[in-house]
Amino acid sequence: MQQISRFAGLVTRALFLRTDAYEEMREARNPFVEGLFIIVIIGVIIAAAGIVGNTLEWASSPDGAAIQDILYDGLTNMPWYQMLEQEVGPEFTEQFEWQWNLNSQIARWAAPTPLSSLAGVVTTPLWLIIGWLIYGLLAHLFARLLGGEASLGQTLGCTALAVTPQVLNLAGLLPSVAMGGVVATWTLICRYVALKQAHRFTWGRAFWATVLPRLVIWLLVLILGGIFAAIVIALGLGPQQLLGGS
């Protein structure tokens, strides 16, 4: 119980940018393990909240199949559909049916259910860990190039505390509340404090150590996206082939 209370206090102080929290993590016996533990706990809490929210949404939502049937009947009985069906012929009907079935299948996959939400207990902490390691390793590399003095474990431990703004996503359970931009900005600020404290940086070096890893990640995403687009164009694949259609 005392250990849980300590971690709760550490997370709260880190969330509100208290430098003593990051200093405590820096001087911990094994900051990497403690940071990993914090991220897993945060991920499980977010996933558990997601299960509750998705279950309530699933229980209160109308039957999706019935809504799709009503929409389908309404669209196919509209004048524009009748006109295109006559002018274009069977090709239009086939394309419309294919697109409609595809969208319906995606909607069924995306619809939240209590069972599908259970996977979040594993996937949410896993994605948080992957994101933490990628950013932490890049941040440590740039920090050392900028003259930082922290070890890799200290960098990862302190940047793990920068994941604490993810708990703000719990507010997303409330109607009409979106926290994506707030969480991303708060996380960036926490990372700045984490790297500044871990590596004993001035504000300028801490800024570049914080920003450069994000720039590299964005650049890699753009490059991979460009390579994927080039492959698709080179192979002449259309949307049906990419999605497994005939």
Contact 130/48 with Cβ under 8 angstroms? no
Q: Range with the lowest mean pLDDT among 110-114, 175-179, 220-224? A: 175-179
242 vs 246: CA distance, rounded Å: 10
What the block records as the tokens of 142 is 């740039």
Domain spans of the chain, in order of start:
2-61+113-242, 62-110
12 vs 109: CA distance, rounded Å: 36
Residue 90: per-residue pLDDT: 76
Model confidence, pTM: 0.73
134 vs 107: CA distance, rounded Å: 32
Q: Range with the lowest mean pLDDT among 13-22, 82-91, 224-233? A: 82-91
Q: What digits encode the pLDDT tens for the residues 156-202?
A: 999 999 999 998 877 756 555 556 678 889 999 999 999 999 999 99
Sequence-distant (≥ 6) Cβ neighbours of residue 34 within 8 angstroms: 7, 25, 28, 157, 160
Residue 246: per-residue pLDDT: 46
Contact 114/52 with Cβ under 8 angstroms? no
In degrees, rounded to 5, the angle at the alpha carbon of residue 10 between the alpha carbons of residues 9 and 11 is 90
User: Among candidates 156, 131, 126, which has minimal Cα distance to 34?
Assistant: 156
Q: What digits encode the pLDDT tens for the residues 53-72?
A: 777 666 666 565 666 677 77
Three-class DSSP category at 246: coil
Neighbours of 107 (CB within 10 A): 13
Residue 130: per-residue pLDDT: 95
168 vs 171: CA distance, rounded Å: 6
Has residue 118 got a pLDDT over 70?
Answer: yes
Contact 140/152 with Cβ under 8 angstroms? yes
Contact 161/32 with Cβ under 8 angstroms? no
Cα–chain center distance at 153? 24
